[in-house]
Structure 1
Amino acid sequence: MALLRALLRTTRMARTFSHPADGLPADDEVLLDAPDPRLAPALVSAGHGDHGPAAELLAATRMAGEWEDRDRYVTRLAAFARSRDEWFRRWCATVPDDPDALLVKAELAVARGWESPARAELLRDVGPLVAAAAEGDPRDPVPWRVALDHARGVDADHIAFERLWEEAVRRSRHHYGCHAAALAYLSAVWHGSHGECFDFAETAAHDTPPGSLMQALPLRAAFAYLTDGGGATVSRARLDAAADRSIALSSRYAPADPRLAEVRNLLAYVLVTLERRPDALTQLHLIGPYATSFPWDRFSDDPLGRFLDLRRGVSREPAALRAVPSAAPVLPRSERAGHAPVRDH
């Protein structure tokens, strides 16, 4: 963590655009949460008040069983509806029983509830919306990811959470979003511990193909540990193994692939925190222009600025810091503890 602070401190002293010589896109070319080619037209149309392309996109993911894409698109469409909702209100009014509209509606209500000081009370009130979304398509695991996020927000006990988890895995054994929601519930700041978190993440990753997003679950456990201010110590070897697993996952995707942007942003943060600068720089090259809000919004109201600060620091760090001893001690964790935002995946 000391290296991370030093990098950010140095770059705040001199904010300049990245020079093309370092191989990274210039700062003004980096985009935050840029949509992929399928989502972009739907957002543009929604901005003009037309819900049709968004409805068609989600219907296509549901019919094809593209659950990972569906989860990402639902999250992004709900976020867009928070700031511009004319198109979404028209969609709900036109087809009130549309399972895709019901899912976006539930995601939107849960996200709003999580950000309110009266979180638990508001989330209890939106329970019927979550239940309605879950009834939309019996094959779809995404409503159950929303239900798991909702359950954590209302402090559901283990028995209630396990019932929801069984429903989720019955629909998709390897859905990343549902596993990330369960991982959050098992974290030390909620209802579990760092050990439980790592055990769950490592077991789930072991049971999936090398190219699956599930390979990033131990990385999320490492992030939870490194940003938690207390709890039992996790070995450096376990943290490095989590990072290495995600490095292997990253290597299976093309550079600047929007599908892996969030994993690579999270991986860059963890690698810098572990003082593995060369590996972090490699991931920054693979990220290209695709910055994501998570994990940077955990530490700043300006996630893009935070990402660019770290990127400048890593690309300019002296060669003396390029090699990290293999027996490096476990790094101290940040002082920032507390409950994480609901959508950090």
Structure 2
Amino acid sequence: MVCTMAFLRALLSSARAFRWGPGLSAGLPSDDAVLLDAPDERLSPALVAAALGDFEPAAKLLATTRDAADWESRDRCLALLVAFARSRDGWLGGWLAAAPRDPDALLVKAALAVRRAWESPAHAELLRDVGPLITAAAEADPRDPVPWRLALDHARGTHATHTVFESLWEQAVRRSPHHYGSHVAALRYLSAQWYGSHRECFDFAERAAEDAAGDSLVQALPVRAAYALLRDERAWARATSVQEDRIDDAADLAIGLSSAFPAGDPWPAEVRNLLAYVLVARGRSADALEQFRLIGPYATSFPWAHVTGEALGGFLEARAAARLGVASSTPLRGRPEHSGRRGH
């Protein structure tokens, strides 16, 4: 009887998937239309030029973000330029040769060195040698918080004390009180994986979100704390109802943030990808599917590469799981049921 019932449930699930499949695919780009870590329209020309060895468009772009004090865009552009330079840094060498004191070139140089050091098993030792590069980038433009975000990542990897970390944190937020990258760096330091706990992560993230504007990416900080708890198998196995509520509250807050941006907007793409992961993990399939619609074609390496090891495949699998989850909860006659806040 048990086997028969399981078989019937599987048949009903498949029937629902076929019944609602076309409707559930509405608004979702096809698998082959999904892009991974796609640059926005400002950065694309700079990356194309960099591939040809021309550093000037990248230099102009970063200078523009610095002049406008657009630190969020500056940090995001930096990340994609460093990802490019990681395998093809000849253009950066030409840039530094032409303008050795350029604050933007020094920032890319420091960020690239930090990334390469972190990729090594001996990252603690290698990061110590990177310190002077971060200092040079910070001194090149004292207004810029992004070198201090690098300093926070550097401090975590070199086992800096809480006192040292707090002094760096003060320097970062003095320059930009709600800089998302600096907050993410602080959250990592406070994580259970490093020098804190899941409770400290949530406390910090929730306070930061309360202080930030409604459309600030810092509103997504609690969902990063939620992600860290969900990924910690031992901690999640003994999670309390209070922790589950904090995860769902974090997801709801991030849903509100996501709704402040247009569908298919690349700016909140990473936040939406992270939120979709948390919602799928919590069994909130309908909410997750809505985020996948808002994401459109903009998949991001984080969090999927950390979850599956293959970012694009992980994204597509999670999207399919959300669609099947909604189909499975839909009566054969009627409308899809709301997934609710609780999941498994």
TM-score of the pair, normalised by structure 1: 0.87
**Partner residue, 1:84:** 88
Compute the displacement of 1:325 (Å): 5.5
Asked whether 1:106 is paired with 2:110, we answer yes
Asked whether 1:268 is paired with 2:276, we answer yes
Asked if the contact 2:280/2:288 (under 8 Å) is kept, the reply is yes
Compute the displacement of 1:120 (Å): 0.5
Asked whether 1:198 is paired with 2:202, we answer yes
Cα deviation, 1:2-31, whole Å, max 9, x if unaligned, reads xxxxxxxx9xxxxxxx97971210111000
CA 1:172–1:292 in structure 2 vs 1: closer, same or farther (change >3 Å)? same
Measured in 2, the distance between the counterparts of 1:64 and 1:77 equals 19
CA 1:25–1:55 in structure 2 vs 1: closer, same or farther (change >3 Å)? same
**Partner residue, 1:125:** 129
Alignment map for 1:221-300 (pairs within 5 Å): 221-231=225-235, 233=239, 235-300=243-308
Measured in 1, the distance between the counterparts of 2:152 and 2:313 equals 31
State the AA in 2 paired with 1:22.
S
Measured in 2, the distance between the counterparts of 1:116 and 1:21 equals 43
Asked if the contact 1:19/1:26 (under 8 Å) is kept, the reply is no
Asked if the contact 1:119/1:153 (under 8 Å) is kept, the reply is yes
Compute the displacement of 1:320 (Å): 1.8
Measured in 1, the distance between the counterparts of 2:137 and 2:292 equals 37
**Partner residue, 1:339:** none
Q: Larger C-alpha radius of gyration, 1 or 2? A: 2
Asked whether 1:320 is paired with 2:329, we answer yes
Measured in 1, the distance between the counterparts of 2:22 and 2:279 equals 23
**Partner residue, 1:151:** 155
- How many aligned positions are there? 313
Compute the displacement of 1:155 (Å): 1.0
List runs of 5+ in structure 2 lacking aligned partners.
Answer: 1-12, 14-20, 331-336
Asked if the contact 1:268/1:283 (under 8 Å) is kept, the reply is yes
**Partner residue, 1:213:** 217
Asked if the contact 1:205/1:216 (under 8 Å) is kept, the reply is yes
Cα deviation, 1:217-272, whole Å, max 9, x if unaligned, reads 00101011111133473522111110000000000000111110000000000001
Compute the displacement of 1:201 (Å): 0.4
Match of 2:40 among 36, 48, 68: 36
CA 1:324–1:255 in structure 2 vs 1: closer, same or farther (change >3 Å)? closer
Measured in 2, the distance between the counterparts of 1:305 and 1:27 equals 10
Cα deviation, 1:74-104, whole Å, max 9, x if unaligned, reads 1110110011112111001111111001111
State the AA in 1 paired with 2:314.
R
Compute the displacement of 1:49 (Å): 0.7
**Partner residue, 2:18:** none
Match of 1:22 among 19, 25, 31: 25
Measured in 2, the distance between the counterparts of 1:198 and 1:21 equals 34
3-state SS, counterpart of residue 155 of structure 1: coil
List runs of 5+ in structure 1 lacking aligned partners.
Answer: 1-9, 11-17, 332-345
Asked if the contact 1:145/1:181 (under 8 Å) is kept, the reply is yes
**Partner residue, 2:63:** 59
Measured in 1, the distance between the counterparts of 2:25 and 2:129 equals 51
Cα deviation, 1:192-236, whole Å, max 9, x if unaligned, reads 111111011000100111111110000101011111133473522
State the AA in 2 paired with 1:270.
V
State the AA in 1 paired with 2:246.
R
Give the aligned CA root-mean-square deviation in angstroms: 1.7
Identity over aligned residues, as a percent? 60
**Partner residue, 2:316:** 308
CA 1:158–1:305 in structure 2 vs 1: closer, same or farther (change >3 Å)? same
Asked if the contact 2:286/2:339 (under 8 Å) is kept, the reply is no
* Structure with more relative contact order (C-alpha pairs < 8 Å, separation 6 or more): 1
State the AA in 1 paired with 2:329.
A
Measured in 2, the distance between the counterparts of 1:175 and 1:314 equals 32
**Partner residue, 2:4:** none
Which one has the bigger helix percentage? 2
State the AA in 2 paired with 1:229.
E
Measured in 1, the distance between the counterparts of 2:216 and 2:340 equals 30
